[in-house]
Structure 1
């Protein structure tokens, strides 16, 4: 899941592992924890696959920094990852956010495909929440519990509807852009 983020970071410029780690921590937010045991094995795998290069650079007389850079194969891998379909799983929103932050590296058709896939994901979830609300309305349960469950589902519905509206607006904006 973090591969797209790392490759996207290296599309900008070469970076040392600590900087990539700090940016990843900011990108995932304050709740999700990213350990060195997640990032550095990923960087090693990317190097082993030939997608990322590694060099050491002296830093203020202390231990040498490992600097990671993107190879041509890594650029191709990044473009493949950006064009790959969004999977409907618990990480879909985060992956969408990663991809969207790197839209400036891909053509308009890839941006639109990503937005359309996310719209499909949101619509799928909205249909699920709506059907669950209908089911809970008729399910036998304590009335106070039903009330709170339906409020929770109503909240989820409103959030999804707002997200759907936002994505539709983004699609219109991208459609109006001149393709580069």
Structure 2
């Protein structure tokens, strides 16, 4: 998943690891921790695969800065990841956001496919929430607990509906946009 983020950032141009780490921290938000222990092994793996290259840039009075550059193989890998279907996992929302931030580099068809896949994911989750509501409503359980679980599920449903509405509007906007 972070492969797509790094390759997408390098579509903009060469950069150093610290800058990538700072951008990644902003992209994933304040709750998820992205350490050097996460990023630098990923960068090493991307170099090993030939998707990015590394050069050392000498710094005055300090150690050399590692500068990363996207290779042609990395560009191909980026496009493969952009067209690959979204998996239904705990990381689906973040992966969608990574894809969406890279929409300027792909065709309208790829953007539409990503939006449609995410909308399907959201609709799948909404169906799941409805099925859990039906199940809990028919189960024998403490009424206070049932009421609170149903409130929690109502929250999930409202968030999912709002997200699905936004994605549907974005789909229409992208469809109507000129290439």
Per the shorter chain, which TM-score range? Answer: over 0.9
SS at match of 1:30: coil
Paired position in structure 1 for 2:40: 40
Partners of 1:4 and 1:73 in 2: how far apart?
Answer: 13
**C-alpha displacement of 1:143:** 0.7
How many residues end up aligned between the 2 structures?
179
SS at match of 1:63: coil
Deviations 1:150-169 (A, max 9, x none): 00000000000000000000
Paired position in structure 2 for 1:13: 13
2:104 is aligned with 1:111: no
Partners of 1:61 and 1:120 in 2: how far apart?
Answer: 54
Partners of 1:68 and 1:62 in 2: how far apart?
Answer: 18
SS at match of 2:63: strand
Paired position in structure 2 for 1:175: 175
**C-alpha displacement of 1:37:** 1.3
Q: State how 1:78-157 maps to structure 2 within 5 Å.
A: 78-157=78-157
Q: Which runs of 4+ in 1 moved over 6 A?
A: none
C-alpha RMSD of the superposition: 0.7
Gaps of 5+ in 1: none
**C-alpha displacement of 1:35:** 1.4
Q: State how 1:45-56 maps to structure 2 within 5 Å.
A: 45-56=45-56
Partners of 2:121 and 2:65 in 1: how far apart?
Answer: 41
**C-alpha displacement of 1:61:** 2.5
Paired position in structure 1 for 2:27: 27
Bigger Cα displacement from structure 2, 153-162 vs 33-42: 33-42
Partners of 1:98 and 1:58 in 2: how far apart?
Answer: 31
